[in-house]
Amino acid sequence: MATQVEHSGPAVNAPVAPGRLPLLGHALQLWRQPIAFLESLREHGDIVRLDIGTWPVHVLTSPEHVHAVLVQQAQRFGRGRIFDRLRPVFGNGIVTTDGEFHRKQRRMMQPAFHRNHITDYTEVMSRQAEAMSASWTAGREISMVTEARGYAMSSVAEMIFSGELSRPAVTEVHRSLPIVLEGMLVRALMPKALDRLPIPYNQRFDAAAGRLRRTIDEVIAQYSAEKGAEGHDLLSLLLSSVDAESGATMAAEQVRDEVLAIMLAGTETSATTLAWVFHELGRHPEVERRLHEEVDAVVGTRPVRADDIPELTYTNHVFQEALRLHSPLLFTRRALSPLTLGGVAIPEGAELAYSPYALHRDPALFRDPTVFDPDRWRQEGNERGRAQKYIPFGAGQHKCIGDSFAVTEILTAVASVASRWRLVPAPGVTVREVPAGIPQPSELPMIPVARH
Ligand code: HEM
């Protein structure tokens, strides 16, 4: 694919997206209709410049350029502005760092996400999913957004700190994490100068982030004192992990930053995807019928087990399709040196961005891209090039470390719920997409109907 991004002839500047205003740039379009605006950029080229105020961003609209930046030439790029702005919240975990430091941290964290551990986590996820659906009453409306968030927070919290020692931490996660998650996108996009304004919004956000950080610090201190670092949860693994190359261990503060990063990166993403899966099932009764048939054959009415997951082929296609339609909106990178990409001159320090969301709705890449059709994954399963055009988890050295965790977590919940309930959309409600790190349903009231 490298040849497609190379280009002979003199480098030119990227075309500017239409509608730029003095000082504001494209801020109004982004503010009013961010999703439609990002999607419209592909009409203007493979690399399109937009200005957020006076901050220029080169948006990559073709899978080849995204692949070049994330994978082939990844060492030429740093994390970029969105991540810089999140560093005061996330700390210096793998989400916000790059270069050698990031590689070392990622090496040390990888074992916690190994398949063997994910098998262990499935048991916990299955228990959480059972508890969620046992709390429902036939005919009584639930908010699938709230339910999915509760499930995702419990799954991640149990992965990080299993055991009684950390009950207060799990409670604190449920209290403070939603506040931090809601404020994150605003923080990422608003000017830094506004962070310190003593307005209630900032105070609430800073207090919640502070509480989360303190809670994790307390649990780490307790784990270290009580030799809890022998368990199988992520916290124990991080506290006992030794870098194979340098022999280094992680300082307590670094462990805290990584734990926080996992919570922030791994909760809303999974929760939102799970909510969309049920939204799409509710709107597509034939898909729902086929999914129920598969779940009945593989799982029946017992709790979901780790060895069920690879058998849930159709359920997996439903998940992939829901995630294709409802993907993360935007991630940034920064050019560490000047370069030419597809004939376009990218100066040192320039910001680049890619949108899995816009890519996954490109009619040149997916036929009838707005149609929800899980069967497309049956045909496209092995198609060449899929790896580059379907990137809900990103690609390259910053590819989502929690991708297998997320797949297991979501399939476990879907199968567990589907073995008991049909979730019917509440009548008279129009579900809209609300822009966020991963666009969210505006609301998702559903009514559980018992299946057996
Ligand atoms: C459906 C659910 C999820 C989606 C769609 C998703 C998506 C992504 C994407 C696109 C990236 C790459 C961002 C970039 O290119 O800069 C990423 C990174 C990351 N994700 Fe996820 N994610 C999901 C679930 C999770 C879960 C469950 C966890 C942890 C338990 C997690 C932890 C992380 C971390 C730590 C990173 C940063 C990795 C690095 O920079 O080395 N994610 N995720």
Domains and CATH numbers, the chain: 1-91+328-370 (3.30.43.20)
Q: How far is the CA of 70 from the centre of ligand 1 (A)?
A: 14
Q: How far is the CA of 402 from the centre of ligand 1 (A)?
A: 6
Which residue has the least CA distance to atom 41 on ligand 1?
A: 398
Which pLDDT belongs to residue 4? 39
Which pLDDT belongs to residue 172? 84
Which residue has the least CA distance to atom 17 on ligand 1?
A: 400
Are residues 421 and 450 in contact, defined by beta-carbon separation less than 8 angstroms?
Answer: yes
Which pLDDT belongs to residue 3? 33
- pTM equals 0.93
Sign of the alpha-carbon dihedral angle for 337, 340, 345, 350: negative
pLDDT tens-place values along the chain, 452 residues long: 333 345 567 889 999 999 999 888 888 888 888 899 999 999 999 999 999 888 899 999 999 999 999 999 999 999 988 888 888 777 888 999 999 999 999 998 988 888 888 888 899 999 999 999 999 999 999 999 999 999 998 898 888 887 665 677 778 888 888 888 777 767 776 677 777 788 787 888 889 889 988 988 988 888 888 755 566 788 888 888 888 888 888 999 999 999 988 988 889 899 999 999 999 999 999 999 999 999 999 999 999 999 999 999 999 999 999 999 999 998 999 999 999 999 999 999 999 999 999 999 999 999 999 999 999 999 765 555 578 899 999 999 999 999 999 999 999 999 999 999 999 999 999 999 988 788 999 999 999 999 98
Task: Return the number of other C-beta atoms located less than 10 Å from residue 347's C-beta.
Answer: 12
Query: How far apart are the C-alpha atoms of 383 and 65, rounded to whole Å?
Result: 19
Q: How far is the CA of 449 from the centre of ligand 1 (A)?
A: 33
In ligand 1, which atom is closest to the CA atom of 399?
12
Phi-psi region of 75 (alpha: psi -120 to 50; beta: other; left: phi over 0): alpha
DSSP single-letter state for residue 361: T
Answer whether 400 contacts ligand 1 (Cβ < 6 A). Answer: yes
Query: How far apart are the C-alpha atoms of 62 and 389, rounded to whole Å?
Result: 8
* Tokens at 350, concatenated: 């320039």
Answer whether 303 contacts ligand 1 (Cβ < 6 A). Answer: no
Which residue has the least CA distance to atom 36 on ligand 1?
A: 400
Give pairs for 217-221: CB < 8 Å, separation 24+.
217/252, 217/256, 218/169, 219/161, 219/165, 219/166, 219/169, 220/252, 220/255, 220/256, 220/259, 221/252
Helix runs in 226-310, H state only: 234-240, 252-266, 268-283, 285-298
Helix (H, G, I), strand (E, B) or coil at 327: coil
Instruction: Write down the residue that tokens 């124990």 correspond to.
Output: 236
Which pLDDT belongs to residue 44? 96
Which residue has the least CA distance to atom 40 on ligand 1?
A: 398
Answer whether 330 contacts ligand 1 (Cβ < 6 A). Answer: no
Are residues 400 and 393 in contact, defined by beta-carbon separation less than 8 angstroms?
Answer: yes
Which residue has the least CA distance to atom 8 on ligand 1?
A: 393
Which residue has the least CA distance to atom 18 on ligand 1?
A: 400
Q: What count of Cα atoms within 13 Å lies in the side-chain half-sphere of residue 267? A: 29
